[in-house]
């Protein structure tokens, strides 16, 4: 039974990847950082089958120890400070975790587990102010946030450890992907939860920032499969994972509100606090290499994703569960 280590296992992607790999027969080690209240909600269905290892990307020694103890065959580095607005509030932390954290893991691998295959969760945010449309593996980077810059560093360190030390180190350049498990502060989840709240009479407005930004957005479950496929290749490489379509935040609103029988124009209000110091206006990926080499293609369309998320949030709000209001935590003063 091969062993996989997943950092960021408590996150959206970590939970989908862990589920997928358990289904393939892997032993899954999930790295979890210490918190005063441990949140394993996304792992509820598989918690008894994932081995949890306490660790943090800020701590080099614990990474070495985890690799020594579990001897993983595959390592998926999904942990990051992943919310772009927070990266302006906490640029140093974002650099420590999202950028240097990659080097800490690569150094641990090089030192104690050089045979392991490594996956780095790179991001379309690296393309930022895009130099080419659509964006592909060879498109130059122009990050527009501390988060984007940190991901560029992590990407290049992955490439450098591959070329310098011969590690099987792969960078997956993933475009936006959501799901019912998406963090509440990301726009597609904020919209789906907003629609559900309005539909059930729990809110009457949805404050949003830039409605004209365009994103290439797929379903997280499809993207987890692509991560695994990348590490099954004989040679490590870089891959863009995307749908090839782009949609504005306005279109996201239209699709989500319409699904609940509502008109978004009656509820969405412009809120300056959600505009960013620098915006990424247009992302659209060219996933043809992933299709050709990995045989990967997305199964869930953008519209299906938005419908799935609205339905899941309606169900969530109809249950007794309390949903925290994260709005005030995620605003940005310019
Ligand atoms: P997410 O839901 O925000 O999950 C991030 C994970 O990282 C959580 O498990 C979090 O743990 C963990 N983490 C944060 N700081 C850590 C630290 N210092 N040490 C160890 N773990 C830490 O993110 P996601 O959407 O699943 O994304 C997964 C990865 O893909 C991230 O690297 C993200 O930057 C990247 N990415 C995401 C997208 C997307 O659209 N979703 C696209 C491209 C790339 P806690 O639960 O304890 O907070
Ligand atoms: O913003 C606009 C906002 O925060 C998307 C992360 O997973 O994908 C994600 O980063 C767009 C931006 O995601 C609101 O200005 C308008 O243009 O959902 P987001 P992101 O910044 O694209 C990449 C690939 C990652 O790697 C990241 O980890 O939506 N927008 N109004 C808003 N965004 C938010 N969050 N909230 C609003 O009210």
- The CATH number given to whatever domain includes residue 249 is 3.90.25.10
> Is residue 129 located within the same domain as residue 254?
no
> Is residue 222 located within the same domain as residue 77?
yes
- The first and second tokens of residue 182, run together, are 């998406």
Q: Is residue 333 part of a domain?
A: no
Q: Spell out the alpha helix ranges (H) of the chain.
A: 12-23, 60-70, 84-89, 91-94, 101-112, 146-165, 187-199, 220-231, 249-259, 288-289, 302-318
d(CA 188, ligand 2 centre) in Å: 8
Write down the residue that tokens 């060879």 correspond to.
138
Q: Is residue 292 part of a domain?
A: no
> Alpha carbon 299 to chain centroid distance?
18
Q: Is residue 140 part of a domain?
A: yes
Q: How far apart are CA 84 and CA 245, in angstroms?
A: 22
The pLDDT of residue 323: 75
Structural domains counted in the chain: 2
d(CA 8, ligand 2 centre) in Å: 19
The reply to whether ligand 1 has any atom less than 6 angstroms from the CB of 97 is yes
Element containing residue 74 per DSSP (H, E):
strand 74-77
Q: Are 95 and 150 in contact (CB under 8 A)?
A: yes
Going by CA atoms, what residue is nearest to atom 29 of ligand 2?
A: 187
Q: How far apart are CA 133 and CA 116, in angstroms?
A: 35
> Is residue 124 located within the same domain as residue 25?
yes
Q: Are 43 and 108 in contact (CB under 8 A)?
A: no
Ligand nearest to the CA of 12: 1
> Is residue 47 located within the same domain as residue 75?
yes
User: Which ligand 2 atom sits nearest the alpha carbon of residue 187?
Assistant: 18
> Is residue 200 located within the same domain as residue 250?
yes
Q: Is residue 286 part of a domain?
A: no
Q: Encode 289-305: b = buried (16+ Cβ within 10 Å), e = exposed.
A: bbeeebebebebebeeb
Q: Encode 105-123: b = buried (16+ Cβ within 10 Å), e = exposed.
A: bbebbbeebeebbbbbbbb
**By residue range, what is the domain housing residue 317?**
183-216+245-278+301-328
Q: Is residue 225 part of a domain?
A: yes
Q: Are 220 and 177 in contact (CB under 8 A)?
A: yes
Q: Spell out the alpha helix ranges (H) of 27-177.
A: 60-70, 84-89, 91-94, 101-112, 146-165
> Is residue 204 located within the same domain as residue 306?
yes
Q: Which of 276, 256, 268 is nearest to 333 (CA)?
A: 276
Q: Which of 133, 172, 136, 165 is nearest to 151 (CA)?
A: 172
> Is residue 92 located within the same domain as residue 204?
no
What CATH number is attached to the domain comprising 144? 3.40.50.720
> Is residue 195 located within the same domain as residue 127?
no
Ligand nearest to the CA of 10: 1
Going by CA atoms, what residue is nearest to atom 21 of ligand 1?
A: 79
What letter would DSSP give residue 45? T
The reply to whether ligand 1 has any atom less than 6 angstroms from the CB of 251 is no
What does R_g of the chain's alpha carbons equal in angstroms? 19
Task: Give the residue numbers marked as catalytic.
Answer: 123, 125, 147
Q: Is residue 149 part of a domain?
A: yes
Going by CA atoms, what residue is nearest to atom 3 of ligand 2?
A: 210
CA distances to 173, 238, 286 from 138, in Å: 11, 9, 11
Mean pLDDT of the chain: 96
The reply to whether ligand 1 has any atom less than 6 angstroms from the CB of 7 is yes
Count of Cβ atoms closer than 10 Å to residue 174 Cβ: 25
> Is residue 137 located within the same domain as residue 259?
no
Q: How far apart are CA 68 and CA 110, in angstroms?
A: 12
pTM for this predicted structure: 0.97
d(CA 258, ligand 1 centre) in Å: 30
* pLDDT tens digits in sequence order for the chain, 334 residues long: 999 999 999 999 999 999 999 999 999 999 999 999 989 999 999 999 999 999 999 999 999 999 999 999 999 999 999 999 999 999 999 999 999 999 999 999 999 999 999 999 999 999 999 999 999 999 999 999 999 999 999 999 999 999 999 999 999 999 999 999 999 999 999 999 999 999 999 999 999 999 999 999 999 999 999 999 999 999 999 999 999 999 999 999 999 999 999 999 999 999 999 999 999 999 999 999 999 999 999 999 999 999 999 999 999 999 967 677 766 555 554 4
Indicate the top mutation candidate among 11, 29, 219 to test ligand 1's pocket, ranked by most ligand atoms within 8 A of CB.
11
> Is residue 228 located within the same domain as residue 260?
no
Q: Is residue 287 part of a domain?
A: no
pLDDT in tens, 47-73: 999 999 999 999 999 999 999 999 999
The reply to whether ligand 1 has any atom less than 6 angstroms from the CB of 33 is yes
Residue 53, SS3 per DSSP: strand
Q: How far apart are CA 53 and CA 81, in angstroms?
A: 19
Q: How far apart are the first and last CA of the chain?
A: 51
Full DSSP string of 296-326: ---SS-HHHHHHHHHHHHHHHHHSS------
Q: Is residue 293 part of a domain?
A: no
> Is residue 236 located within the same domain as residue 315?
no
> Is residue 59 located within the same domain as residue 128?
yes
Going by CA atoms, what residue is nearest to atom 45 of ligand 1?
A: 10
Q: How far apart are CA 7 and CA 245, in angstroms?
A: 29
């Amino acid at each position: 039974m091969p062993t996989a280590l997943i950092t960021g296992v408590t996150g959206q992607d970590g939970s989908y990847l862990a589920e997928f790999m358990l289904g393939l027969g892997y032993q899954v080690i999930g790295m979890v950082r210490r918190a005063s209240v441990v949140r394993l909600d996304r792992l509820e269905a598989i918690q008894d089958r994932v081995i949890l290892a306490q660790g943090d990307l800020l701590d080099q020694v614990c990474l070495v120890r985890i690799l020594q103890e579990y001897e993983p065959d595959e390592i998926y580095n999904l942990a990051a400070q992943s919310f772009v607005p927070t990266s302006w509030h906490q640029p140093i932390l974002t650099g420590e975790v999202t950028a240097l954290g990659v080097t800490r893991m690569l150094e641990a691998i090089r030192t104690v587990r050089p045979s392991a295959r490594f996956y780095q969760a790179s991001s379309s945010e690296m393309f930022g102010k895009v130099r080419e449309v659509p964006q592909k593996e060879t498109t130059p980077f122009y990050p527009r946030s501390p988060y984007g810059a940190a991901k560029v560093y992590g990407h290049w360190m992955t490439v450098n450890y591959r070329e310098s030390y011969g590690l099987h180190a792969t960078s997956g350049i993933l475009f936006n992907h959501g799901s019912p498990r998406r963090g509440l502060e990301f726009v597609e989840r904020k919209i789906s939860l907003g629609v559900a709240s309005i539909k059930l009479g729990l809110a009457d407005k949805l404050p949003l920032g830039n409605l004209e930004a365009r994103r290439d957005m797929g379903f997280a479950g499809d993207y987890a499969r692509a991560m695994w496929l990348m590490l099954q290749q004989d040679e490590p490489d870089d891959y863009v994972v995307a749908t090839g379509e782009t949609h504005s935040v306005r279109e996201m609103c239209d699709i989500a509100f319409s699904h609940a029988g509502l008109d978004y124009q009656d509820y969405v209000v412009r809120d300056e606090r959600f505009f960013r110091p620098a915006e990424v206006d247009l992302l659209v990926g060219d996933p043809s290499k992933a299709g050709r080499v990995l045989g990967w293609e997305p199964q869930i369309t953008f519209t299906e994703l938005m419908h799935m998320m609205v339905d899941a949030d309606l169900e969530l709000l109809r249950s007794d569960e309390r949903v925290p209001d994260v709005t005030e935590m995620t605003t940005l003063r310019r």
